[in-house]
Structure 1
Amino acid sequence: MSELIPYSFGKLIKRIFREWETQKSIFDIKQKSFFHTPENLDFSVMFHNKRAATPFGPASGPHAQMAQNIAMSWLCGARIIELKTVQILDELEIPRPCIDVPNVGYNVEWSQELKIEESLHEYVKGSMLIDILKYSGIIKWQEQDIDTVLDISLGYDLKGIQSQPVQDYVRKMRDASDIVELYRSQIPEEYAHLREIPFNKQISNSVTLSTFHGCPPDEVEKIASYLISEMGLNTIVKFNPTLLGKVKLREILHERLGYNDLIVPDSAFDDDMHWDQAIGICERMKKLAEECNVGYGAKFTNTLIVENYRKVFEEKEKVMYASGAPLHVLAVNVAAKFREHFANEVPISFSAGIAPNNFHESVALGFKPVTVCTDLLRKGGYARASKYFQALTKEMKKLQTSDIPSYVKARAQERGSSTASLSEALQVNSRMYADEVANSEGEYHQSKHIKTPPKPGTKMKIFDCLTCDICIPVCPNHANFSYGLEKGSVPVTKFVKQNGVWEQQKTGEVSVNKRHQIANFADFCNECGNCDTFCPDLGGPYILKPRFFSSLEQWQQDGQYDGFFLQKEIGSETIWARFDKKEYSLTVANDQQDSSEDLPLCEFTYEGKSFAITTDGLQGDASDGTEIDGTYLIWMNLLRKGVTGEKQVNYAMLSGDYC
């Protein structure tokens, strides 16, 4: 099952507080990675007509589609959050895996994975989680830390945007009062005081238009005009890197940067918008927005369409979309050219290869927001944002500036410009930085981006791996998690029915050599493949590690991989399991749950038949010659004890009502 399944709002709240109380982390993000504005510095920017405490946020991609995604990015400093694109076609078949980020980033589809109504509810839930993190007192935020803007992303054609489902979505995002009240009522009783929080009901009144590669220019303009004049939305239009033109783009990409393996098909230039067309659209939309009293801006850029040569993706996928370092250079050059024309009259939003080494430079170019996707898919995940702010802090202090406008001007002066104007400083910074990053001997050359995550060659198992925990933060949806388990070896018993009596034979052991283990929460796993890219072991955590489901129904429906479901019941707890497409279960009574026995007194089903381990041994009807291999029973019992342990916090145990 590769479909994302939204999680209970009440249980997300339980997760936040239980994890904070026991581990001083939230959604596996440690307290040290939480954002706070450094003393005497102001990172804030204005986005349309709203203040945002930082210009940083996730791009409209995998890091901004689920409620927990939105909260995690906010904890790490995202204050302009570009929500994942919503479109009328909300039931798509997406290739798996779909992400490959060994150094440069590649994907074959990052389109909408939830239905429109599900996206709406996830975004409202995400906004409410932010308000809970702001106002609950669980974390002491400074006043200058919290101002946040959520931005809608819409695609992909005018007809779809005019459709009733998309219209309803936008209307609800502008006034989500009824949905807020629905989730207010779902706040658990033990946190009833949170129901008094003044939750934001206008989730967003701005939109970034994300159209397909090759969308006709007149269609882009019609959509933008409709969003501005008919819907009254602050509007940003996202453009493609092909605006540089065939000759310039290939000269930078191949001759200067050395990315000769990235072949941009001629059709990408022939079918896409040209420079003069983009400038004309922006001039007309700027004027229209002024007449309608809303904001207008341009975003650079979309991903770069290239021929698919990666063996990671299905062969039928003829093209893929490149991001990361080479896209950064191309997008900066497009933005610099755009700024030469418009100066600072049209705000620029940016998303292309942002990383710890260039975030501060992008802020100096006046981009707002500076959005990130590819880099958050790397080791550390959302927590990588702390490096962005550390670099920005260092640069601002070095230049003796305290806010973003003064930093922009000081950076231009450092580059040798004597200008005092913010607009001129932005042009200077943009022009000079564009030349710097396109340097054939600089840090963006292909030779500097060939290192891939190491694969020593060890095969992953259900228990024990390197337990480096890299797979946890690199998952954009927070599907992988760790749990504790006592080290040691457990002997395996085979039960054999002979002459009407169950005999026991020792056939080996199950060994646990690491104190913590890795598992996967299937409802949040879309099988994108990113954890496999970074995992040192072979096999993929999302495939070979235990996959837990949020309900028995979901577990039953998904038969592709082995999987588990945990359920706390009155007087007992049960784990359901599937191994090699055969179903099993193990039920342990309350007084046996902490048993130190290899297998406690329990009831279990094995290949469709019911059995029990009692003080008198194994009980259950079966014909002579029947064999029961106890390996699966040991695995189930170890998983039951480990995932639901006293100090554990994970979605699987919350789903089973262990909290």
Structure 2
Amino acid sequence: PMYLSGAPLHTITVSLLNALMEAMPGVLAVGEQGGDVQVSFSAGINKENLAETLGTGVVPTTICSDLLKPGGYGRLAPMLKRLTEEMTEAGCRDLPAWRAHRHQLAVQAGHRDAVAAHVDAMVNGDENELYSLAGNEKLPREVDHVLEMWGCVACNLCVTVCPNDAFFRLPTPEDSGIDGRQQYFVLMELCNECGNCMTFCPEEGDPAQIKPRLYIDENRFATMPGQGFLLTSENGGIAVTAREGWEAEVPRLHEMLNASEGLPLDASTV
């Protein structure tokens, strides 16, 4: 099986939409087609193509892949800022006006509609570099080091790319004997093991499997495989119980989770 997202999926999906609109005029509710078959769109939307995609008239349009890159949900603000700037420059106060504007520009340029114009720009125009191999062949940064439970390059990517907010970080205690200015932890009730952290981690290994896996649900802790630590409330603080074979890590975990910047949860709810 093959999974596509981002630039290649955007190119294929818009091209398919263009072919359908050519083959079935007046059927799809896209732009000025006037059809009654609604078309939703979720394929490689990013800051560079959000405005143009919305201008084609597909509704609703959703964003996923770009939010799984470093910056996470923070990437939405630049997208919306770019959209606002382009709409303002064109004198459009809402999306219907923006769609009409993009359709008019497309027709004036000799295209059937905004969808056809978008395809032409991707294949033959100034947008080609955004979707070609040359513009997308750069791989995530890598370092020649195997990821370990304690100590890493502390790039924070596992925190920012996690779609479930399952990772958090804590300062490394002084005189702890472990490397790195920060240590990283996984809240297992939030982690669905999607693998996105492993995609962007520059070290070799899966952060969701290697970094300390913390549980607050006793039943989940008892049934899940691999290393793990159960957290319970104890005298206003956090008690740590390790899965068999990982008991040596308990003192270190206890110190960090009960520090002033400890577990990002109310201890009384654990």
TM-score bin, normalised by smaller chain: 0.7 to 0.9
Q: For the structure 1 residues 408 and 649, does the alpha-carbon distance in structure 2 shift closer, same or farther, using more than 3 Å as the test?
A: farther
Superposed, 1:454-469 pairs within 5 Å as 454-469=141-156
Q: Does 1:473 align with 2:140?
A: no
SS in 1 for 2:147: coil
> Runs of 5+ in structure 1 lacking a partner?
1-318, 420-424, 491-509, 585-631
SS in 2 for 1:338: helix
Aligned counterpart, 2:245:
582
Letter of the 2:61 counterpart:
V
Deviation at 1:646, TM superposition (A): 3.1
Q: Does 1:345 align with 2:35?
A: yes
Deviation at 1:360, TM superposition (A): 0.8
Equivalents in 2 of 1:358, 1:324: separation in Å? 11
Letter of the 1:636 counterpart:
V
Deviation at 1:452, TM superposition (A): 1.0
CA shift digits 1:69-120 (9 cap, x unpaired):
xxxxxxxxxxxxxxxxxxxxxxxxxxxxxxxxxxxxxxxxxxxxxxxxxxxx
CA shift digits 1:398-420 (9 cap, x unpaired):
2122111222222334446299x
Task: Judge conservation of contact 1:485–1:638 (CA < 8 Å) in 2.
Answer: no
Q: Percent same amino acid among aligned pairs?
A: 29
Equivalents in 2 of 1:583, 1:556: separation in Å? 14
Task: Judge conservation of contact 2:172–2:180 (CA < 8 Å) in 1.
Answer: no
Superposed, 1:543-582 pairs within 5 Å as 543-558=209-224, 560-570=225-235, 573-578=238-243, 581-582=244-245
Question: 4+ residue runs of structure 1 moved beyond 6 angstroms?
Answer: none
Task: Judge conservation of contact 1:566–1:640 (CA < 8 Å) in 2.
Answer: no
Q: Which has the higher strand share?
A: 1
Equivalents in 2 of 1:571, 1:332: separation in Å? 56
Q: Decide which structure has the larger Cα Rg and report it.
A: 1
Deviation at 1:429, TM superposition (A): 0.9
Task: Judge conservation of contact 1:436–1:442 (CA < 8 Å) in 2.
Answer: no
Deviation at 1:513, TM superposition (A): 4.0
Q: For the structure 1 residues 444 and 645, does the alpha-carbon distance in structure 2 shift closer, same or farther, using more than 3 Å as the test?
A: same
Which of 202, 219, 222 in structure 2 is aligned with 1:536?
202
Q: For the structure 1 residues 466 and 375, does the alpha-carbon distance in structure 2 shift closer, same or farther, using more than 3 Å as the test?
A: same
Q: Does 1:638 align with 2:249?
A: no
> Runs of 5+ in structure 2 lacking a partner?
27-32
CA shift digits 1:275-301 (9 cap, x unpaired):
xxxxxxxxxxxxxxxxxxxxxxxxxxx
Task: Judge conservation of contact 2:236–2:268 (CA < 8 Å) in 1.
Answer: no
Aligned counterpart, 2:46:
355
Task: Judge conservation of contact 1:349–1:368 (CA < 8 Å) in 2.
Answer: yes
SS in 2 for 1:489: coil
Equivalents in 2 of 1:571, 1:394: separation in Å? 50
Aligned counterpart, 2:29:
none
Aligned counterpart, 1:435:
120
Letter of the 1:470 counterpart:
L
RMSD across aligned positions (CA): 2.6
TM-score (structure 1 length as normaliser): 0.37
Aligned counterpart, 2:11:
329
Equivalents in 2 of 1:489, 1:646: separation in Å? 17
Equivalents in 2 of 1:363, 1:572: separation in Å? 50
Q: For the structure 1 residues 513 and 428, does the alpha-carbon distance in structure 2 shift closer, same or farther, using more than 3 Å as the test?
A: closer
Which of 151, 169, 175 in structure 2 is aligned with 1:489?
175
Q: For the structure 1 residues 414 and 572, does the alpha-carbon distance in structure 2 shift closer, same or farther, using more than 3 Å as the test?
A: closer
Aligned counterpart, 1:511:
178
CA shift digits 1:533-588 (9 cap, x unpaired):
10112222112111001223322322x3221122112477421113xx4263xxxx
SS in 2 for 1:355: coil
Q: For the structure 1 residues 518 and 571, does the alpha-carbon distance in structure 2 shift closer, same or farther, using more than 3 Å as the test?
A: closer
Letter of the 1:657 counterpart:
S
Task: Judge conservation of contact 2:152–2:180 (CA < 8 Å) in 1.
Answer: no
Superposed, 1:176-195 pairs within 5 Å as none
Letter of the 1:392 counterpart:
L
Aligned counterpart, 2:30:
none
Deviation at 1:458, TM superposition (A): 2.4
Equivalents in 1 of 2:269, 2:262: separation in Å? 10
Q: For the structure 1 residues 418 and 574, does the alpha-carbon distance in structure 2 shift closer, same or farther, using more than 3 Å as the test?
A: closer
Deviation at 1:337, TM superposition (A): 3.4
Q: For the structure 1 residues 404 and 570, does the alpha-carbon distance in structure 2 shift closer, same or farther, using more than 3 Å as the test?
A: same
Superposed, 1:174-323 pairs within 5 Å as 319-323=1-5
